[in-house]
A and B are shown apart, each in its own frame.
Chain A
Amino acid sequence: MVTFFNWMNRFFRNIFRKKKHLKIGIYGPPNGGKTTLANRICQDWLGEDLGKVSSIGHETREIQIKEQVSIKSGNKELSFNLVDTPGIATKIDYEDFMKAGLSEKEAKERAKEATKGVIDAIKWLDNMDVVVVVLDATKDPYSQVNITIVGNLEARKIPVLIVANKTDLKKASVKKIESAFPQYKIVGISAKYGNNIEEFYKGLFEVAGR
């Protein structure tokens, strides 16, 4: 039954794929730099931030949308609604937040909101026209969360651009991510400092088919 609804959803999405405003979702595990990238895009083209960033995981616990973002590359223009999603994880332990300095009450509240955020992010998958998967290039790319996210997008036939983020850090390896996902377009960037961001925009045009 779920498969049938997914099929119907894909069918209608494909009919309207050529609509003017696409929905571009930013997905990935927690602390990969999704909101930093969303802020970079919004700063570059709108001059404002989308969300708050933090070194403590699960800072983004609700879906955040910036409507009518228009970007240009050469003589091409791409207009879309940008959707920043909470990080997808298989475990959330409030004690980890306490270790980061939160009180027990704050930590439990954050954990509760974070679990809801993961559920919402998964529910929103079917609404996306294009997805940017943001991975931390300093970490192991073979984690099951990464593989599950990318596998699901493939199953839903949603175009994917993989971003290997944090290339400003010494431990970063874009090659590791390329070898883990050889069939995908991958761009190494530093969302924090804007390194290679032009390649990212070119990649976005390519994947969005514009």
Chain B
Amino acid sequence: MITLQFVPYSEIERLSSIGKIRKLLKIAREDKIVVLEGRLQKEEETELIKTTMEEIDDEFKGIEMAVISSEKKGNDVLGRFRNQFFSMLLGNRQGFTVIGPASVIKEIKKDPNKIQLFAEDVRKGRKRKKSR
């Protein structure tokens, strides 16, 4: 059985950067896949990778992670300003972030509008595919 744990943005918005990272990694270390509403800041994503590396041992092999964002790419200055303005007011709630232990998520394939998780049931060792 694969467990997905939804984390609403309101659960992490008051935490410090390291607090957010510790909370998300703790869930991933319990062999659960985190589905976070919104996304971390760019610097926090790097800190997440750094902290993950510090925690890798014989049991914990790291994480797989993907962000699906509704922000559009390109040079639309007005659009970027609007996104930044709403992010400042409400936090980065757009899209969602998937973080799972590397022992469960074997691969994440992503294009701008679709995400595919290739997961392995740790107990049964069977590969499953979930897509959204």
Name A residues whose Cβ lies closer than 8 Å to a Cβ of B.
2-3, 6, 88-94, 108, 111, 115-116, 118-119, 122-123, 125, 140, 142-145, 147-148, 151-152, 154-155, 182-183
Contacts and interface: CB of A to CB of B under 8 A. Distances in A.
A89 B53 CA distance: 9
A151 B102 contact: no
Nearest to B111: A142
Nearest to A96: B61
Interface of B: 17, 41-43, 45-47, 49-50, 52-54, 56, 58, 61-67, 73-75, 102, 108-112
**Most interface-central of B53, B62, B65 (chain A CB within 10 A):** B53
A80 to B, nearest CB: 23
Given A90-B64, A91-B64, A144-B67, A183 B53 contact: no
5 contacts: A2-B43, A119-B50, A143-B108, A147-B67, A154-B42
B74 A92 contact: no
Contact of B112 (A6, A111, A142, A144): A142
A6 B43 CA distance: 10
A183 B64 contact: no
B53 A92 contact: yes
B46 A91 contact: no
B56 A92 contact: yes
Given A92-B53, A93-B102, A115-B54, A122 B46 contact: yes
A160 B65 CA distance: 23
A108 B61 CA distance: 11
A93 B42 contact: no
A124 to B, nearest CB: 12
A111 B42 contact: no
A2 B17 contact: yes
Given A6-B43, A140-B109, A154-B42, A90 B63 contact: yes
A93 B61 contact: yes
Nearest to B115: A142
Contacts of B67: 144, 147
Contact of A108 (B58, B62, B63): B58
Contact of A90 (B58, B62, B110): B62
B64 A142 contact: no
A115 B43 CA distance: 19
A94 to B, nearest CB: 7
A94 B74 CA distance: 39
Contacts of A143: 108, 110
Top-3 shortest CB links A-B: A91-B62, A91-B102, A115-B53
A152 B42 contact: yes
A7 to B, nearest CB: 11
Contacts of B111: 142
A92 B61 contact: yes
A105 to B, nearest CB: 12
A144 B65 contact: yes
